[in-house]
Amino acid sequence: MVLMPDTESAHMDPFFAQSTMAVICDILDPVSGESYNRDPRGTARRRKPM
């Protein structure tokens, strides 16, 4: 699997004593480069609004 960082989600976590950056990533299939079908973020994007 390939992790593609979402740069908009990056932020410094204020709750750790050490400086820590939290970044959310999308999971991609390494062969096709498409969203992995079990990635919750990809599933949410594919879901159509009601």
Please give the model's pTM, rounded to 2 decimal places: 0.68
User: How high is the pLDDT of residue 42?
Assistant: 84
Q: Are residues 9 and 27 in contact, defined by beta-carbon separation less than 8 angstroms? A: no
CA distances from 29 to 11, 35, 37 (A): 26, 6, 9
Per-residue pLDDT of the chain (50 residues; tens, 9 = 90+): 999 999 999 999 999 899 999 999 999 999 999 889 888 888 888 876 66
Per-residue pLDDT, 48: 65
